Amino acid sequence: MKQYLAVCGIAIIAVAMIGTTTTTTTMTYLATYAVEKPSKPSKAVPAVIATSDENVYVVWGNNDTTENNTEVMFRASNDGGQSYADKINLSNSSSSNSTDFAIEATDNNVIVSWWETNSSNTEPIIIFSNDHGTTFGPILRLASNGTMG
């Protein structure tokens, strides 16, 4: 319950921080519709929000998987948070946890990054969209030596 409340609190705080371009109605929509209520509230991971013009992008962790691992989930709004597209599982990782995610947006570009951790390895991941988060390119795994693989 404590972590689930953190998700709601983070979403509301983040919306308040971008309040110059949003309204109280937007806060309600973000808190209610953008981040799903997990079936296991103790497994919720706080949401991170990015904006560009009227576009609102939300990324969060969800541990409601049969493998009991954390996935990076994403939703986009192109009307200032009044409505959201279907959620997208960006990480789709069955044998590892996706943690410490971040999101940036500019114009029609959305960049999401996170760390993928399994029993033997931890690696940084990045994924790009150039169509307001409607689709994403392939997952890029960044090696710890600075190369992409």
Q: What is the pLDDT of residues 94-148, one digit of tens each?
A: 778 888 889 999 999 999 999 998 888 889 999 999 999 999 999 998 876 555 5
| CATH class for the domain made up of 2-141 | mainly beta
Please calculate the CA angle 121-126-130 and round it to the nearest 5 degrees.
165
* Residue 9, C-beta contacts closer than 8 angstroms, at least 6 positions apart: none
φ/ψ of 130, rounded to 5, equals -120, 15
Q: Where are the domains of the chain?
A: 2-141
User: Which two structure tokens, joined as six digits, stand for 148?
Assistant: 């992409």
Q: pLDDT value at position 93?
A: 82
Q: How many CB atoms lie within 10 A of CB 118?
A: 12
